[in-house]
Structure 1
Amino acid sequence: MHGVELFLLGRTLMKIGETAMPEPEGGSGRYGGSTRVVLIVASDVAAHPDSAVGEIASRTGLPQSQVSTSVARLKEAGAVVTAPDPADRRRLLVRQTPEPSARITEVRASTIEDALAAALEDSTPEDRREVTHALEVLARHLSPRSPARVRTGGNAPQTPR
């Protein structure tokens, strides 16, 4: 496998993940418009608590307006809180809420079976079990907060910006 194949696989996995996300109650369309952008921002906030919107935009490569919109949607969902920066009261610092919101709990409780079945439409149940197992192995080794990475002290690979 080369870098382009890995990149394209990652995009495919992101689309399957977006499909697996439950719709919010009373919502039309995906939460916050662009699920992908909201998840990128949420991931950055988890890795870098007490960051300003501009810092998140700089790290993610997203436009500041998209980061601001995503932070507002995450705040509305109860996933993040904001507070004035003590060093510069004009800036807001963003961090995850100490306790998961109802929406976070709902998303974490969702499963990938239906989304995976749709992505692998001509597959057998055995094929889907094999892919699910492979994804669990990848998650165990590559997810930033996985117990295996914490235990071994592994760091996620850094990508140049």
Structure 2
Amino acid sequence: MTPVEIILLGRTLMKIGEQALPTPEDGTPPGGERTVVIVMTDIYQNPGTTVGEVARRTGLPQSAVSGSVARLRSVGSVISEPDPRDRRRQLLGRNPNLTPRRRTVAAATVDDAVAGALGEHTPTDLATVLSALETLGEWLTPQTITRLRPDA
């Protein structure tokens, strides 16, 4: 597989993941899920972090991180508290209470979205692709990225 093929595969997988996400019940329009997931994952892995730190670690613009944090706070996935060292800054973390949205997203599967992306396929084809995705997910975790960047 070439680097270009991996980039295109990554884009396809992101689109399938976005398609598989359940539609928010609060009427939030779809879009921006990729950034929200990246920001949420970073906050969950780095409790007590700030918007600026998330932006630095993820490489996302601070404005995109701020927007994602606002969205995550509005649905109750992320909580914030003033930084005791600098009351102007907010420290971010995972809401310890499982919200209905987090419960819905955690229960979602990609099966139907993958089946739709495959088009004409047999049950064996679908099982093969889903198994390959499981294997990739076990080996290529979000932490994998930190091993690729020398500054991470």
Say whether the fold is shared (TM-score over 0.5).
yes
Note the 1:29-44 alignment, pairs <5 A: 29-30=29-30, 33-44=31-42
Tell me how many residue pairs correspond in the alignment.
Answer: 149
* Aligned counterparts, 1:21-36, within 5 A: 21-27=21-27, 29-30=29-30, 33-36=31-34
1:94 matched to which residue of 2?
92
| 2:140 is equivalent to residue 159 of structure 1 | no
Q: Deviations over 1:2-47 (max 9, x none)?
A: 33322222221111010000001142531xx311111111111122
Q: Which residue of 1 aligns with 2:3?
A: 3
Unaligned runs of 5+ in 2: none
With a CA cutoff of 8 Å and minimum separation of 6, indicate the structure with the bigger relative contact order.
Answer: 2
Offset of 1:90 from its aligned partner?
Answer: 0.8
Q: Aligned partner of 2:94: which letter?
A: Q
Q: Does 1:123 align with 2:111?
A: no
Please give the per-residue CA displacement for 1:47-103, whole angstroms capped at 9, x wherever unaligned: 211111011111112111111111011011111100111111111111111232110
- Aligned sequence identity (%): 50
Q: How does 1:135-146 map to 2 (within 5 A)?
A: 135-143=133-141
Instruction: Output the amino acid matched with 1:137.
Output: T
* Structure 2 Cα separation of the partners of residues 2 and 44 of structure 1: 29
Amino acid at match of 1:60: T
> Any idea what SS the aligned residue of 1:24 has?
coil
The change in CA–CA distance for 1:39 and 1:124 in structure 2 (over 3 A counts) is same
TM-score normalised by length of structure 1:
0.84
Structure 2 matches for 1:64-103, cutoff 5 A? 64-103=62-101
Distance 1:66 1:6 in 2: 25
What is the one-letter code of the residue matched to 2:144? Answer: A
Distance 1:46 1:11 in 2: 24
